[in-house]
């Protein structure tokens, strides 16, 4: 039986899920799809395709996987803040000659009335917070990268995350457990009710968590915007249609 071309999708994002949904009707007909998750969340699911979970073992492990599966095309549909895997994917794909596409949502950008301080990472973000001496800071950066903010004395930190954060230590911090999508009315209400005078966020892009930026603009709350980590240059698209067209082209050639 003829082997179908195989696409590897490096997932863990809504874009990856949308891509798999678009490819689903073709799976087993003219394409096989493997969806790879890091395994950070319990029981990750994909709408179709073969799911594999866990790291590959660095560049060499991924190169070995690409050759032995074998994989014909790969799509980096990782989160914009995934810093290591995009580099591993670019290097391994180059090493074994697998075409790689990045599917990534565009960054947020400023509009009239925004007051953003762009910073490169969490350490710069914490320095910016300390410099501004705010009273009430809303941290919407998840729960894994709180350490740079713990030594800051003065403000109260409102830490919004999906899973409970570790707020141990001497710092003044309060947990807000919530999961997007977030809507404008709720975000306005949160900023006003909690007297937030500084917002810290990652530039994730997308619509699910963008309402806080509109609310901040309306209420005159400044934003410390942590920009995305640098990535190796790879052909990048922002829509599922572009990604499926790219896969079609590659698959027809193979």
The reply to whether 157 sits near ligand NAP by the rule CB under 6 A is no
Q: Which residue lies nearer to ligand NAP by CB, 204 or 244?
A: 204
Give the x-and-dash track for 180-219 against ligand NAP (CB under 6 A): ----------------------------------------
Stretch that binds ligand NAP, among 11-19, 174-182, 191-199, 208-216 (CB under 6 A): 11-19
Minimal CA–CA distance to 12: which of 49, 48, 39, 34? Answer: 39
Smallest gap, in angstroms, from Cβ of residue 72 to ligand NAP? 18
Residue given tokens 């075409």 in the structure block: 99
Residues 6+ apart with CB under 8 A from 89: 10, 62, 74, 76, 78, 100, 234
With beta carbons less than 8 A apart as the criterion, state whether 216 and 223 touch.
yes
Stretch that binds ligand NAP, among 76-84, 111-119, 169-177, 214-222 (CB under 6 A): 76-84
CA-CA distance, 146 to 143, in Å (whole number)?
Answer: 6
Stretch that binds ligand NAP, among 5-13, 112-120, 170-178, 183-191 (CB under 6 A): 5-13
With beta carbons less than 8 A apart as the criterion, state whether 43 and 27 touch.
no
Q: Which of 7, 20, 72, 79 binds ligand NAP (CB under 6 A)?
A: 79
Smallest gap, in angstroms, from Cβ of residue 65 to ligand NAP? 9
* Interacting residues with ligand NAP between 15 and 74 (CB under 6 A): 36-38, 40, 55-58, 61-62
Main-chain dihedrals φ then ψ at residue 116, nearest 5 degrees: -110, 140
CA-CA distance, 88 to 94, in Å (whole number)?
Answer: 10
With beta carbons less than 8 A apart as the criterion, state whether 48 and 21 touch.
yes
Chain positions contacting ligand NAP, by CB under 6 A: 10-13, 36-38, 40, 55-58, 61-62, 78-79, 81-85, 88
């Amino acid at each position: 039986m003829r082997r179908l071309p195989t696409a590897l999708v490096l997932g863990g994002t809504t874009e990856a899920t949308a891509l798999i949904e678009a490819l689903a009707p073709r799976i087993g007909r003219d394409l096989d799809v493997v969806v790879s998750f890091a395994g950070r969340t319990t029981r990750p699911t994909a709408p179709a395709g073969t799911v594999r979970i866990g790291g590959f073992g660095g560049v060499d492990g991924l190169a070995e996987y690409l050759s032995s599966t074998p994989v014909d095309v790969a799509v980096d549909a990782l989160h914009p803040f995934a810093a290591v895997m995009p580099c591993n994917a670019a290097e391994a794909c180059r090493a074994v000659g697998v075409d790689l596409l990045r599917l990534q949502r565009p960054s947020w950008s400023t509009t009239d009335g925004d007051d953003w301080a762009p910073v490169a990472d969490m350490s710069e973000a914490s320095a910016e917070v300390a410099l501004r001496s705010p009273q009430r800071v809303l941290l919407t950066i998840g729960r894994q990268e709180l350490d740079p903010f713990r030594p800051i004395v003065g403000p109260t930190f409102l830490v919004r995350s999906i899973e409970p954060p570790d707020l141990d230590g001497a710092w003044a911090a309060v947990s807000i457990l919530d999961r997007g999508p977030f809507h404008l009315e709720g975000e306005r209400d949160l900023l006003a009710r909690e007297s937030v005078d500084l917002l810290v966020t990652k530039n994730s892009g997308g619509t699910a968590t963008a309402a806080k930026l509109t609310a901040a603009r309306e209420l005159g709350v400044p934003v410390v915007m942590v920009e995305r980590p640098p990535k190796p240059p790879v052909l990048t698209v922002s829509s599922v249609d572009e990604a499926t067209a790219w896969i079609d082209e590659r698959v027809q050639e193979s």
